[in-house]
Structure 1
């Protein structure tokens, strides 16, 4: 335990509050930066902030604040100074010259966490692509700074020697990665088409990072997706079969968490992964209702869904962590369910609510089917919401009642049968 503590890098956080950001939002933003630092295995020693009308074009913050950081850097033995915005290449260069500690920005910190979290080949390639695209305009004058890096936060992913290589090499590597990702995307699209052909109802979990998506995913599917109280615990999407109490088989997908000011390079890199959401028949929007900033988290998720051109897909809001709610929480929508992912009764309520949402998109059927149609009876059980199946002795037929998705191939078959 003691050894673990000594390995943590000592970080100083720096934020600049502009007129368009109120005090509460700004403080939450700095708290989130501290959580990101903790996730990256850093130890926050102190947070500093400065109010300005606009950021300093050369150094992001003013001269007085730079002098204050220089004094604190020695006093607190700081290894790393993290800025709460994306710094321009010249700002990073100028600030690096003024401090002994390494200087990174919010984007670099998020990229670093993604690099340590990616497990699949696709995830690793997506992160590497985002890192190279972030670093390419910042290569000039980085040689000296990079040569004295000894690893640590903000340096994971592409190795030091790769970063010192010339731009041509990095551009070539970017092209290679894009080619490999294109192959993976094509494979993913083929897989999606196959799923569409099978016409299984698809549900996607989305939400702000650390809202509890993976916990809900695991409890519903027993899939064993990585879950921990950390930001970006899940990076690689996972899809598993999810059997509803009514007997309908669906597919449930766990996705990467969203975050405010998610680097554009990352959104672009993970676009193919996030495309999964566009294929969903129902979106479960998981919100941590115990977080004081839950309302802004919701807005961030809706904004990213809009950017991904996700529209006309029904959304059920799942307010999670109800056992931890301490503030005066007010739901933003009526179409919601209030749960704790660790409470089985709450999970049962969630499943019932999902069933209700699914049924609202379906059409009622009442069929009489001969006993010789065993395959059709089995399909009704697995592909539709079968409410009732009784053998009618008078007609010597099975009487079936339930709900069916009109987009199913099976739907036309039922139309051809005698509807009562």
Structure 2
């Protein structure tokens, strides 16, 4: 586990554009409360920094303000923690207005308590008994400005969330099902959505290449339409600030009809990362939505590895987005989950009711239409679930 976590931290650093020179590992039950590492490891890290000409250190755990200051003083270089690193990556990859606002909000929420921590040191400069030092005065201004900005950002994000809610309701009223692709970061969700929707999304072999939810139209083999959503990747111990700030974006997942959980078949930590995804889905209120598990990147696996995965994940769909292999397997499984066993049904509708029926046209298979005086007879195939929604919609319209 420790090797996996260290490797992930190194990959995060590379994604942020840093060249990783060396790693220092210390086995402690808890980080040192004063300067994170024990004194001996600090001295060892200091020698390595001088030997390699390192200009930045990144810590695995989140640092307290005092730990950050003490470690920087002892090492003689700038120090950031994993949360700051992830915030840097998010700031670089956010493209929509909402995404940029969410990243800025998360950054300010992270920085605010650290302003307080640094203030204790600053306030000592030039301060007498019963007086305020220049550092404390400056700190209060900075803190007030940060809090004001946080309040404004929250209001802006709330307004955008309201617009998103309106769009979501319009989408739901169209009866076209929404299928969201979720999973650990960098497992190939964007590649699969591109394959299924036949639209070229920007795809990069980086962690958190996708931050903004992207919804595209697609068709199932039987001709029914659906919407496929590409979502932000999950990661273990996602910083609390990001979870809170990206709530409106993550909320989109809760309104999906089906979740396609994508895993990297070549990843030896696949079970652990699937658990992280499952836990995150439950935290955001999407734990009960029907799922399809997809094992991507099987082109990177040996036959022995594939046999092992079949034993561990017997109901999963094995695919390769890179080789466009078995994409139809995903579509067939989506069809089965969404529509189940379809039955032949007949409805005789007034023109007004027929207009409402047409909202479900892409979710059912129409066999015939015939006109008899003022009624229209429709013979169609649909699942019980879709038919219940269709009938309910027609009845609701009739009561208006």
Instruction: Report the TM-score range of the alignment, normalised by the length of the smaller protein.
Output: 0.7 to 0.9
Aligned to 1:169: 145
CA apart distance, 1:232: 0.2
The answer on 1:364 being equivalent to 2:340 is: no
Instruction: Work out whether residues 341 and 347 of structure 1, in 8 Å CA contact, stay in contact via their aligned partners in 2.
Output: yes
Distance in 2 separating the partners of 1:374 and 1:63:
77
The answer on 1:86 being equivalent to 2:62 is: yes
Distance in 1 separating the partners of 2:48 and 2:234:
33
Distance in 2 separating the partners of 1:264 and 1:274:
13
Name the SS of the counterpart of 2:187 in structure 1: coil
Instruction: Compute the TM-score of the two structures, normalised by the length of structure 2.
Output: 0.84
Give the 3 Å change call, closer, same or farther, for CA 381–178 of structure 1 in structure 2: closer
Match of 2:237 among 261, 269, 277: 261
Aligned to 2:367: 389
Aligned to 1:400: 380
Give the 3 Å change call, closer, same or farther, for CA 110–398 of structure 1 in structure 2: closer
Distance in 1 separating the partners of 2:360 and 2:155:
43
Distance in 1 separating the partners of 2:296 and 2:22:
31
Q: Deviations over 1:144-183 (max 9, x none)?
A: x9xxxxxxxxxxxxxxxx9996100101010010111110
Higher strand share: 1
Instruction: Work out whether residues 363 and 406 of structure 1, in 8 Å CA contact, stay in contact via their aligned partners in 2.
Output: no
CA apart distance, 1:378: 5.9
Give the 3 Å change call, closer, same or farther, for CA 318–164 of structure 1 in structure 2: farther
The answer on 1:247 being equivalent to 2:223 is: yes
Q: CA-atom RMSD, angstroms?
A: 2.8
Alignment of 1:143-292 (within 5 A): 166-292=142-268
CA apart distance, 1:29: 0.4
Give the 3 Å change call, closer, same or farther, for CA 164–253 of structure 1 in structure 2: farther
Flag structure 1 segments of 5+ consecutive residues without an equivalent. 1-24, 146-161, 415-420
Higher helix share: 2
Distance in 1 separating the partners of 2:377 and 2:241:
60
Instruction: Work out whether residues 176 and 362 of structure 2, in 8 Å CA contact, stay in contact via their aligned partners in 1.
Output: no
CA apart distance, 1:226: 2.0
Name the SS of the counterpart of 1:166 in structure 2: helix
Name the SS of the counterpart of 2:327 in structure 1: helix
Give the 3 Å change call, closer, same or farther, for CA 325–163 of structure 1 in structure 2: farther
CA apart distance, 1:366: 2.7
CA apart distance, 1:135: 0.7
CA apart distance, 1:398: 6.6
Distance in 1 separating the partners of 2:74 and 2:298:
46
Aligned length: 367
Q: Deviations over 1:22-52 (max 9, x none)?
A: xxx0000000011101100110001110111
Distance in 2 separating the partners of 1:189 and 1:279:
10
Instruction: Compute the TM-score of the two structures, normalised by the length of structure 1.
Output: 0.80
The answer on 1:353 being equivalent to 2:333 is: yes
Deviates more, 1:340-349 or 1:280-289: 340-349
Aligned to 1:56: 32
Instruction: Work out whether residues 174 and 360 of structure 2, in 8 Å CA contact, stay in contact via their aligned partners in 1.
Output: no
CA apart distance, 1:60: 1.4
CA apart distance, 1:241: 1.3
Distance in 1 separating the partners of 2:324 and 2:30:
50
Distance in 2 separating the partners of 1:380 and 1:280:
17
Instruction: Work out whether residues 116 and 139 of structure 2, in 8 Å CA contact, stay in contact via their aligned partners in 1.
Output: no
Aligned to 2:317: 337
